[in-house]
Structure 1
Amino acid sequence: MKSKKSASTQFDVEALQAALDSERITRDLNWKDVSAQSGVSASTLTRLTQGKRPDVDSLTALTHWLGLSADRFMRLPQRGFGSASPLAQISSILRDDPNLNKDAATALDEMIKSTYARLRSQR
């Protein structure tokens, strides 16, 4: 019989993928660049977008590239962020907000990313 894991201790693949996408946008990179810089294969990055969990080595490389602790992607309240970009931090915070459901957090994240990309070039 499989044991049920508490939702509060599950790994949040969507939050990791959102943080990676936010950091990719912040650094003005494509996914091939993310793969090269992080040392994680493009196929692993594709699997993340499909909701599949990364292996331990890939998780370590990706969280190092982000400048975030892997604990940040456990569904537990966390404090502190390391050296991640503001956009990566916002994505992660939105998904942790108990006042937002998944769809609301995703909608806000997409709106912020889009606005950031538009305003970033208007220095």
Structure 2
Amino acid sequence: MGDTAFRRAGLSKKLTWKKVAEDSGVSASTLTRMAQGKRPDVDSLAALLAWSGLHADDFVRVEGHRPSEADSLAKITAYLRADPNLSEEGASALEALLKSAYERLRRD
């Protein structure tokens, strides 16, 4: 997830990497290193999490652990319900659509 999640956060706000660095307080060189697959230091990660609204739990991976269907759908549902651009009805409709698609496309 890492760099990709932060990149999506910047794109959703229509920001350049330079603007992300400026707004988040993280150096552009740190963002460049992350884009190359390197890990940020703890302070940079904390600043990026605070800036993006992402959560550290989204970046913690336990070897051999695969998230369950309930875990994945619960996270998606929480994000939808927290989105100020969606009404309760809109979030519910998207949730139902995603659950249906997930059931149809998941690996057994």
After TM superposition, the score normalised by the length of structure 1 is 0.51
Q: Partners of 2:16 and 2:30 in 1: how far apart?
A: 15
Query: What's the CA shift for 1:25?
Result: 1.1
Q: Partners of 1:25 and 1:51 in 2: how far apart?
A: 19
Q: 1:48 and 2:5 equivalent?
A: no
Query: What's the CA shift for 1:65?
Result: 1.2
Q: 1:61 and 2:42 equivalent?
A: no
Q: Partners of 1:40 and 1:17 in 2: how far apart?
A: 13
Q: Partners of 2:44 and 2:6 in 1: how far apart?
A: 13
- The list of structure 1 runs, each at least 4 consecutive aligned residues, that deviate by more than 4 angstroms after superposition, is 81-84
Q: Partners of 1:27 and 1:68 in 2: how far apart?
A: 14
Please name the residue that 1:88 is paired with: none
Q: Partners of 1:74 and 1:55 in 2: how far apart?
A: 15
Residue ranges of structure 2 left out of the alignment (5+ in a row): 84-105
Letter in 2 for 1:40: V
Per-residue deviation, residues 35-68 of structure 1 (Å, max 9, x unmatched): 0110000000000011111000001001111111
After TM superposition, the score normalised by the length of structure 2 is 0.58
Identity of aligned residues (%): 49
Find 1:75's aligned residue among 61, 67, 74: 61
| Count of residues paired in the alignment | 73
**Higher RCO (C-alpha 8 Å, min separation 6):** 1
Please name the residue that 1:26 is paired with: 12
**Structure in which a larger fraction of residues adopt helix:** 2
Please name the residue that 2:97 is paired with: none
